[in-house]
Amino acid sequence: MICYKQLYPSPIGDLSLVASDLGLLGVWFIGQAHFERGLTGELVLADHPVLAQTVDWLDRYFAGQEPAPTDLPLAVVGTDFQQRVWAELAKIPYGQTTTYKALADKLNCPSAQAVGGAVGRNPLSIIVPCHRVLGADGSLTGYAGGLDKKIWLLEHEGGGLKRDA
């Protein structure tokens, strides 16, 4: 499988965008934890229609609009459990937050830590909003791209103070 890659200069750091003919595979901050993890096949720097859609999505997001993850053709690769967690992440409304425990409860999973592991491996930074997940006490726990980026994203969305517990 050929994977197409493009760099996107966001206000909080460069992003690596990767797609295939199946859809968007990943959006990672350069150097973040799990950077481009799970990619197989040939990786080429080239234009692709899915990457153009992703750039448009990100441009709208950083301009203060509220594009939804469903606006893009997603083709992420992960375990069944990771896919279930990522699907729940995609449902967190713009400008709101939830907790690892609340996600675990929604998924009927006894381990918020297991959910946290899947959240941390989300390959679609910003698009699938893992930055909207907080610790049980509302604390800003880990973010693969760095806590400074998580704080920026939450502030960009209006502070992320509304929780959907």
Placement of tokens 């509220």 in the chain: 66
Sheet with 162-163, edge to edge strand ranges: 133-134, 96-99, 162-163
CA-based angle 107:103:20, to the nearest 5? 80
Q: Which listed residue (51, 89, 128, 130) is catalytic?
A: 130
Neighbouring CB atoms inside 10 A of 95's CB total: 15
Active site residue 130: yes
Provide φ and ψ at 127, rounded to 5°. Answer: -60, -55
**Residue 59, phi-psi category: left (phi > 0), alpha (psi -120 to 50), beta (remainder):** alpha
Contacts of residue 31, defined as CB under 8 A and 6 or more positions apart, other chains included, come to none
Which amino acids are annotated catalytic?
130
